[in-house]
Chains A and B, each alone.
Chain A
Amino acid sequence: MLLLSGELIVGTAHSVVMLAPLSERDRGRFGSLFVTNYKLSFVPIDNSSNDEYGQRNQLVGTFDVPLTGVGAVWQTDGGPTRRRRLLPRSDVPSKLKGLQVVCKNMKVLTFNFENSRIGNGRKVAMALLHHAFPKRHDLLFAFDYREPYYPTLPSDLNMFQRPGDWKRELERCECPHWRITCINGTSDAFMLTAGETLIVPGSVLDYNLIEAARHFRSGRVPIWVWGRPEGAALLRSGELLPTEQSATAESVLLEQVRRSHPKLTPPRVLYVCGAAGAGASGGGAGAGGGPLGPLPPLAALDASYKKLAELCTPTTLADFWTQDSQYYSFLESSRWLRHVAACLAFADEAAEQLARNVSVVLQEGDGVDYSAVVSCLTQLLLDAHCRSLAGFQSLVQKEWLALGHPFCDRLGRPRPGSTKEDADKEPAAQTAPVFLLFLDCTWQLQRQFPAAFQFTETYLTTLWDCTHNHLFDTFLFNCPRDRELAVSKNFVQRPLWDWEEQFSEQDIALFYNPLFGQPAPSSRFSTGAARAGAGGAVAGAGGAGAGAGGRLQPCTSLAGVELWSQCYERWLPPLDAPRAGPVQYLLHHAALRAQIQKLNEKLSSLSILTRHSRADEGGEGGEGGEGGEAPPAVTRFYPFSARGGCAAPLDGMQLSLIDASLLLDSQSLLNAPD
Chain B
Amino acid sequence: MADHVELRTGSYLDSVTLMQVSRTVAAAPGVEAAQVAMATELNLEVIRGMGFDVPDSAPNDLLVAIRGDEAGIAAGQAALESALTESRSAAGSSTGFGEAPTARTLGGAIRLSGADLALVSVPGEHAVTEALDAVRAGVSVMVFSDNVPVEDEVRLKDAAADADVLVMGPDCGTAVVGGVALGFANVVRPGSVGLVAASGTGAQQVMCLLDAAGVGISHCLGVGGRDLSSAVAARSTKRALAALAADPETTSVVVVSKPPAPEVLADLEAYAAGLGKPVHWATLGAGRPDLTAAVESVLTSVGSDVPVWPTWEAAGPSAPTSSGSLRGLFCGGTLADEAMLVAGPVLGDIRSNIPLRAELALGADLRDPGHVVIDFGDDTMTRGRAHPMIDPSLRLDRIAVEAADPTCGVLLLDLVLGHGAHADPAPELVAAVRAARETAAATGRDLRVVVSVTGTTSDPQGLDRSAKALADAGADVLLSNAAATRRALQLLGHDVTAPESARRDTAYAPVAGTVTDVGAEPLHGLLAADVTVAAAGVSLFSDALRAQAVSVTEASWQPPMAGTAAELGRVLADPRRDAANAEALRRMTAAGADLVDVRPAREVLGLERGTFLHAGPPIEFARASGPLKGALIGAMLFEGLADTAEEAEAMLEKGDGVTLEPCHHRDAVGPMAGVISPSMWVYELRDEVHDNTSWCSLNEGLGKVLRYGAYGPEVIDRLRWMNSVLGPILQQAVRARIEQQGPIDVKAIIAQMLQMGDEGHNRNRAGSLMLLRELLPTMITADASSTDIAEAVRFSGANEHFFLNLGMPACKLSTLAAHGIPGSSVVTTMARNGTDFGIRVSGTGDAWFTGPANTPEGLFLGSYGPDDANPDIGDSAITETAGIGGFAMAAAPAIVKFVGGDVPFALRATQTMYEITVGEHTAYQVPILEFRGTPTGIDVAAVARTGILPQINTGMAGRVAGTGQVGAGLVTPPEQCFTQALTALAAAAGER
- The answer to whether A and B assemble together is no
